[in-house]
A and B are shown apart, each in its own frame.
Chain A
Amino acid sequence: RKEVEQDPGPFNVPEGATVAFNCTYSNSASQSFFWYRQDCRKEPKLLMSVYSSGNEDGRFTAQLNRASQYISLLIRDSKLSDSATYLCVVNNPTTGRRALTFGSGTRLQVQP
């Protein structure tokens, strides 16, 4: 089983649509969770951290379900500029390990 699994997509949605991405992770001891966004041929950039209580940033809402080891990202009122690949990122707290594990990403294409 992959450490972090995501549906690769692509998700093709019209402008204004609501779209949800899901992610599962394998290590129940993981402590920190993020969604990153990566535009074509660019570096990943932090979109938002994911907290146990769920958190919202404008049109973006992230949820964490520790019991199911599941993370979600909801984008409301999609814009053309939201087109990108969304990476689910989880830390793996192996002793001494300070790195994050990235999912393969879910590609979103918002169409006019």
Chain B
Amino acid sequence: ETGVTQTPRHLVMGMTNKKSLKCEQHLGHNAMYWYKQSAKKPLELMFVYNFKEQTENNSVPSRFSPECPNSSHLFLHLHTLQPEDSALYLCASSSGLVTDTQYFGPGTRLTVL
């Protein structure tokens, strides 16, 4: 148990749907992250939040919209996705220090039809 939970664990959606992914960390961390992992590719950083403020957006398309209401919760709102967006979406948290370890949630496996 890493202390980072994600829901749902699996999601199938059509290209016209709107859905949200949720992440919650119980570790008292200040930084939270969204990553995308496609088949046979390395993890791709999408967004970084530190003390609820977005500090990085790695050129992610606007059909992905993050929200961080507090240091413990992170959402990823999805709308009008494409089939190539099908992937494992991983949330992570860390203390916020540059040198600190990140702890991952179990991920949401997303399939876009």
Contacts and interface: CB of A to CB of B under 8 A. Distances in A.
Contact of A93 (B41, B43, B88, B98): B98
B62 interface: no
A76 to B, nearest CB: 24
Contacts of A96: 55-56
B103 interface: yes
Interface size class of A (residues with CB under 8 A): 20 to 34
A98 interface: yes
Given A96-B55, A98-B55, A43 B106 contact: yes
A45 B106 CA distance: 10
B2 interface: yes
Nearest to A48: B101
A44 B101 CA distance: 12
A32 B43 contact: no
Given A102-B43, A103-B42, A31 B98 contact: yes
Nearest to B58: A99
Cβ-closest 8 pairs across A and B:
A32-B99, A43-B104, A102-B43, A104-B42, A99-B45, A102-B42, A43-B106, A43-B107
